[in-house]
Amino acid sequence: MSRNTRWSVALFGVLALVFVIGLVLTGGREDVPGAVVDGAPLSEEQEKAAFAQQLMEALRASGVPGEPRYEPQHFRIQTRGPDGGVGMTLFLANTYREYQAAPPERRAEVIARMVKVNLPVDSPASYEEVRPNLMLVVRARTSFELLAEHVGGLGLPSTRGKVPVAWRPLGEVLAVALVQDTPDAMRYLSPEDLERWGVSFDQASADAVANLRLLGAAPLTPLAPGACALSTNDSYGASRLLLGEVIHRCEVKGEPVVLVPNRDTLFITGSGDAKGLLAVAEAAQAAIQAPRPVDGRALRLAPDGWKPFLPEPGSPSRSILQRLAVESRANDYQEQGARLAQQHAREGTDLFVADFIPEDDEHGRSFGQAVWVSGIDTLLPRADVLIFMDQELGPKAPPVAVVRWDLVVRDAGLLLMPEPGMYPERYRVTGFPSKAQLEKWKREPTAMDVP
């Protein structure tokens, strides 16, 4: 079958799926997002539940195996496999966001794409069979870290010790993962797939990059002199940062700096270009609000690969890029905190998971803070500033100290220990600094300075 024929068949299949889902959505239901019931608009939770119900009906209509079940506390849908383990998990936040942004007449297509991506795809018997359909996707690193923790934490024999996706970190905060992308569906590859085919991650990645090049050169749009934007509709815009020839098509001052605020967008400028950095920072603020966000942190191409980047204090773009970075960290910790709370409840673990709290100072500089409370066994996020609260002084008492993270790490010793195997990183605290130590920190002239 030719490639054009395959895509024609695939298009017919998607259109048929849209038609079926359109029938589902217009089958007399009134509880659709934006609907009014008894003269009152639906609450946010009711709208989310209505959206999940439509998606579950579409999944049933498409023949996805396993009865879907909506879990509102996690805003996800799960099915069970034949062995009683989790068959499929659909996290709904991104699709719901895309659904809300779509005009009413296009919303069935959004649900159709979600169903299509999750249709069962058989793993090819040989690597030669899968190689033409290999691609690399760039996502937030947290997505895959927490997926592995979630699967490993279920305590089921079928999932114990398994890593569900073949992926690698990219630039510390992003990740690159292997997928099998056919006209009919997309499937993440697992380490078990690669082992069965006798191929390494590096070799499969090289073949996937070759396929990425075959998509064609997406045009670069100038944002300012020395600042470029690449925008696609194929969900591989962010993946183009893996193509050196794309990065170097944008003539920049200094080392290349990129942002991938969503799956279809790549911004490029130079580390030595204040105006270029401001142009991409301002564009990223808007682009990260689009459906399918990836991450808001800027990366610089160093000799040993991509690294997180912030311009020097005083740069016009610093406050914007710092705020985007802090908000991305907050999102990572929020998602991690929800998963940890679920895991601790399932295991009966009494351990407080502290929030990462984004804040701005009087100069507009963004930073993250966390609260260390005496007498509570806690997992702290890696914040910029720690707020120390002494329970013995009562719930209305002010903090006994507010201290920069690096000073606390320097002096806390065994009171603050990194928790192994966690991303984003967390630290276990089981005690509380002495009054003498708190006073010492408070006497430090820079103890409360924002990084």
Q: At what angle do helices 141-152 and 318-347 cross, to 10 degrees?
A: 10
Q: Which residue ranges of the chain lie beneath pLDDT 70? A: 1-40, 81-86, 120-121, 148-162, 450-451
Dmax over Cα atoms in the chain, in whole Å?
76
pLDDT in tens, 206-259: 999 999 999 977 899 999 999 999 999 898 999 999 999 999 999 999 999 999
Residues 10-53: tens digit of each pLDDT: 333 333 333 334 433 444 343 444 555 555 688 899 999 999 99
pLDDT digits (tens, 9 = 90+) for 82-102: 666 667 778 888 889 889 888
Q: What pLDDT is recorded for position 23?
A: 36
pLDDT at 267: 98
Q: How far apart are CA 365 and CA 307, in angstroms?
A: 21
Residue type, 330: A
Measured distance between the N- and C-terminal CA atoms of the chain, rounded to whole angstroms: 58
Residue of 178, 176, 173, 205 whose CA lies nearest to 300: 173
- The closest of 402, 400, 360, 398 to 385, measured between CA atoms, is 402
Using CA atoms, how far residue 91 sits from 74, 88, 94, 176, in Å, is 8, 10, 8, 19
Q: Give the model's pLDDT for residue 27.
A: 42
Q: Where are the beta strands (DSSP E) in 208-365?
A: 220-224, 227-231, 256-259, 265-270, 299-302, 305-308, 352-353, 357-360
Q: Domains of the chain: which residue ranges?
A: 1-120, 121-214, 218-316, 346-443
Task: Specify the pLDDT at position 37.
Answer: 52
pLDDT at 213: 96
Q: How far apart are CA 194 and CA 126, in angstroms?
A: 10
Closest CA relative to residue 137, chosen from 99, 171, 94, 180: 180
Alpha-carbon distance 281 to 257, whole Å?
Answer: 11
